[in-house]
Amino acid sequence: MTKGILREVSYEIDKFEMEHYNEEKKGMFERVERFLDEISDETVDLETKKHIDPERISGEIQESLMEAHTHIDCMESIGVQNGLIRSKHLHNLLLAAKIRDTRDTDNYDDPNIDYVEQKVPWYKVDNLIEKLYIKYHKTQIHECFDIIQRYLIDDESDSRGIYAFWKEIKELWEEVDDEETLSNHYHDHDTYWDYNVDPKECQNLPDFFQKRIKAKIKEKKEKERIVLEQAKKDKEKEEELEIIRVNKHKLRKYISIEEFSNNQEGSVYLFIDVKQKFAKSKKLSFGVLYIGESRNFNNRFAAYAHKNGDSYSALEKRLIRKFPKISKSEIKKFVKDPEQCKLRVITNKKLSDSRYRLWCERRLIIKCQPLLNLKSRT
């Protein structure tokens, strides 16, 4: 009798699933999704459209909404019918279990019936295994009906809504990859119990509950351990980030050598003869001794800095070569005299480009005709 009832339940569930959840045939869920997509297509670009027809758009949206509401009502009706069918078969199953329950007051001792004693495992006494199964054994098919109850049948539920219902059902369906329907997988040989405590592996009922309590405590401690471990990791990560932030703040005024080099502005520089002692010019009020260019004039200037003793700067060496008959001390005195020899440095970001910098140097050489530049550079 029990097997027959279970087959009836499985058949009704399979029929419901094959009608509405199979991939080959589009059911009401797909139709509702299509209507919602139509509404989305109509409204997604309204903000950007310049010329719209409110009456046409409103009519199309209302039509799609009516179709969606109609199919939602159908699904609610189907869910209720399926729940009633399931309840009918389970009611029959419980009646059969009630007959097997020797402690039920309706089961009186009939003197005309022979009674026998049978040695059975503790979980088979008074149909106990079935009661434990109903309360402590859950499968995906139970989840399926719980979802139907929560989203489609229960009027007082806060979770009513076809989109969320369809999404959860789809996620549940995707977990089953080896059977045609959810229920087929649970007709036979299903051994999953809450906390992985199987009554058939326990000595007695107290042992069953003790193992469940231990498993629950262990699971709770494991969750607490994971939470604490994650909190510790988060704290360590936050401390590391804080150290990084502090270090970055301290180093905010420091840059890499490469970055410093790339940030240097190029320069074009001129040495002039204020009183035209060596360099003559008809166009300018001063003579131009030398024009040069540099990617980084701070580095280049070391060659032009004043030297002590018998050492000479790059400008002094050029003048000595140009005027060998003039004494070196006189040339050095001329270069060091701020009233006779001056320097001008033109610096900007554009001069960081080597081609533009060379072009500016050539233009200045052509215009100023400096004394010490090579003729080939003009």
Do both 274 and 300 map to the same domain?
Answer: yes
Q: Which residue has the tokens 């009513």?
A: 160
CA atoms within 13 A on the CB side of 55: 0
**Is 337 within the bounds of a domain?**
yes
Do both 25 and 134 map to the same domain?
Answer: yes
**Is 304 within the bounds of a domain?**
yes
CA dihedral of residues 352, 358, 360, 363 (deg, nearest 10): 180
Read off the pLDDT of each residue in 322-326 and give the average, rounded to a whole number: 92
> Which residue pairs from 16-25 have beta carbons closer than 8 angstroms and sit at least 24 positions apart in sequence?
16/78, 16/82, 17/181, 17/182, 17/183, 18/180, 18/181, 20/75, 20/78, 21/169, 21/173, 21/181, 21/182, 22/180
Q: What is the pTM of this model?
A: 0.37
Domain boundary among 150, 168, 192: 192
Cβ-Cβ contacts under 8 Å for 84 (sequence gap 6 or more): none
* Nearest of 96, 105, 97, 99 to residue 127 by alpha carbon: 97
Do both 75 and 176 map to the same domain?
Answer: yes
Do both 153 and 246 map to the same domain?
Answer: no
Residue 94 CB neighbours (<10 A): 16
Q: pLDDT class for 140, splitting at 50, 70, 90?
A: low
CA distances from 47 to 39, 42, 50, 64, 117 (A): 15, 11, 8, 21, 80
Do both 93 and 215 map to the same domain?
Answer: no
Do both 186 and 272 map to the same domain?
Answer: no
Q: Could you tell me the two tokens for 319?
A: 């003048």
The more confident residue out of 53 and 157 is 53
**Tally of domains in the chain:** 3
Predicted local distance difference test score (pLDDT) of residue 189: 46
Mean pLDDT of the residues in the chain: 77
Domain boundary among 160, 192, 224: 192
Residue 111 CB neighbours (<10 A): 6
Residues 163 and 160: their CA atoms lie apart, in Å, by 9
Please report the DSSP string for 129-147 in residue order: HHHHHHHH---HHHHHHHH
Pair 347, 267: CB distance under 8 Å? yes
* Nearest of 96, 137, 135, 132 to residue 204 by alpha carbon: 132
**Is 74 within the bounds of a domain?**
yes
**Is 16 within the bounds of a domain?**
yes
**Is 217 within the bounds of a domain?**
yes
Read off the pLDDT of each residue in 241-260 and give the average, rounded to a whole number: 80
**Is 310 within the bounds of a domain?**
yes
pLDDT digits (tens, 9 = 90+) for 163-185: 666 677 667 666 554 444 444 43
Do both 150 and 235 map to the same domain?
Answer: no
Domain that holds residue 222: 200-254
Which of 35-39, 89-93, 120-124, 256-260 is predicted least confidently?
89-93
Which of 45-54, 93-102, 303-312, 348-357 is predicted least confidently?
93-102
Domain boundary among 211, 229, 254: 254
Q: pLDDT class for 376, splitting at 50, 70, 90?
A: very low
**Is 109 within the bounds of a domain?**
no
Do both 204 and 181 map to the same domain?
Answer: no
The more confident residue out of 73 and 284 is 284
Do both 124 and 249 map to the same domain?
Answer: no
Do both 172 and 209 map to the same domain?
Answer: no
Cβ-Cβ contacts under 8 Å for 193 (sequence gap 6 or more): 136, 137, 199
What's 358's domain CATH number? 3.40.1440.10
Do both 214 and 345 map to the same domain?
Answer: no
**Is 111 within the bounds of a domain?**
no
* Nearest of 65, 57, 75 to residue 34 by alpha carbon: 65
Predicted local distance difference test score (pLDDT) of residue 167: 72
Do both 139 and 26 map to the same domain?
Answer: yes
